[in-house]
Amino acid sequence: MQGTSPNTASDRTLSNGPPLAVLFDAYGTLFDVYSVAQLAEELFPGRGQALSVLWRDKQIEYTRLVTTCNHGAHYQPFSVLTRAALVYAIKKIVVSDPSKSAAGQFDQNFEENHGPQVQRLLDQYQQLNAFPENLCVLQELKTRGIPTGILSNGDQAMLDAGVQSAGFSDLLAHVISVDPIRKFKTHPDAYGLGEQATGLAAPDILFVSSNAWDALAATWFGYQTLWVNRYRLPFEELGTLPTRTGHDLRAVLDFFS
């Protein structure tokens, strides 16, 4: 079920009552994608923070490129795009001008010089730090008998590794990857996977994301939405607001108070 009517209030009345299930975005919402900056700084002193930011931005850009271009003919799994985005970030921020190298020599030198750092950062991405309040919120939702899950761009293996590392394995009824449909969020088919997994219509599901673009697209699809605005940023300026906004994951529990 796809919603079409935009809401105009930052905390609109929940016309469908409390949600019957909660689905979380993974990267940026449950798992801190910028927690890799510490290792990046160790590997590339003075450039770790910038590297982690560009890595994330390019990763999301690649998901949009492969979803929207040529009807998805260039789709590659999230793990592949994550590596490609990391290599791009290192080449841009760390490596000297590639135009000074002979054709084909630059990539060979890159792998020889930076392959081990790339692998260490990718390994770290499998066990990103979870935000500190997340475990308690998931435990409380389970205590209340509210089904929860992840709906993410991540490959299934990536998600399973992150969930296990964070200690969330017994707290999530669903860990949903978009990979089987070969379409990343914000494609509506990606959000539709949440309905299929839970057996519920979108208005009965709360979708939670720290990514404003994700919260917006989920709102357009028809979910009740919570934007977790950890960094006190403005929301997207496209005329639609999420159902609610909070500053950490504890705001989820306000939907059930």
Q: Whose CA is closest to 220, among 13, 3, 7?
A: 3
Largest Cα–Cα distance in the chain? 64
C-alpha span between 116 and 171 (Å, rounded):
34
Structure tokens of 144?
Answer: 């209340």
3-state secondary structure of 184: coil
Half-sphere exposure of 185 (CA within 13 A, CB side): 31
Annotated catalytic residue, options 11, 25, 160, 179: 25
Residue 123 known to be catalytic: no
C-alpha span between 249 and 226 (Å, rounded):
9
**How long is the chain?**
257
Question: Which residues are known to be catalytic?
Answer: 25
